[in-house]
Amino acid sequence: MDEGNRSATGSVTGRALRVLEAFTPTAPVLTLTDISRRTSLPLTTAHRLVGELTSWGALERDQDGGYRIGLRLWEIAALAPRGLGLRELALPHLSDLGRVTGENVQLAVREELSVVYVERLAGQKSVPVLTRVGGRFALTPTGVGRVLLAHAPPEIQEHVLSQPLVRYTERTECDPGRLRQALAEVRHTGVAVCERQVTMDSVSVAAPVYGPGSEVVAAVSVVAHVEAVQAYALVPLIQVAASGISRTLNGAPPPGRR
């Protein structure tokens, strides 16, 4: 394939991805006009791409003429080892943790500079959370995020801490120096405790999940009402769940942290 054709193919691929990215949790159904406006693509181009994506199964059309993400993408996403594969292996341990605590239980991985939630089990009377399965969130204010960031390469840590940090509550820590200390504490203790960082009524307690080679591949957390539990009472329960998932993945912490 010559350079011109490669360029054209990349352009088409990029436009198709822009169409898929137009859909969000707050806008799961879009008309063709919506898609054209959100992607800044001409209506004729959007029409052609939407037709191709619908034929393949990446999009589905409803009875009212709107479009939504199709199940074919879910089938492809299920092949991602850090997605549904990890979720299936971890689910028995997450379920046990949810039954014991009665609180929100979450499993997450790091993708570039964000947390991506692989699973979330809601407790019957648990505190509302802002996360969703498949959703992204900032690393620094969340328990799972701090665990993942604490074990990320130094250049990733510095990149995150050099960016403007979002303040979700009056208690959200946005000072890079204090966050560096917090990350060092996570590495020392093996857990992260984030109180009133995302909402004023919640506390998140998280621990790392290890894969082969003692690499931190995920983090598991419990998010509870800050006034209903003693956060540090949750630590051993979360560590048991994290250790169980690690064993399932044939992983273990470094010798000094066993």
Q: What is the pTM of this model?
A: 0.72
Which tens digit of pLDDT belongs to each residue from 93-129? 999 999 999 899 999 999 889 998 989 888 776 766 7
pLDDT at 4: 39
pLDDT at 135: 81
Place 7 in a pLDDT band, splitting at 50, 70 and 90.
Answer: very low
Per-residue HEC secondary structure of the chain comes to: CCHHHHHHHHHHHHHHHHHHHCCECCECCECHHHHHHHHCCCHHHHHHHHHHHHHHCCEEECCCCCEEECHHHHHHHCCCHHHHHHHHHHHHHHHHHHHHHCCEEEEEEEECCEEEEEEEECCCCCCCCCCCCCCEECCCCCHHHHHHHHCCCHHHHHHHHHCCCCCCCCCCCCCHHHHHHHHHHHHHHCCEEEECCCCCCEEEEEEEEECHHHCEEEEEEEEEECCCCCHHHHHHHHHHHHHHHHHHCCCCCCHHHC
pLDDT at 71: 82
List the domains of the chain with CATH numbers: 3-76 (1.10.10.10), 81-257 (3.30.450.40)
User: Rounded mean pLDDT of the chain?
Assistant: 87
pLDDT at 197: 95
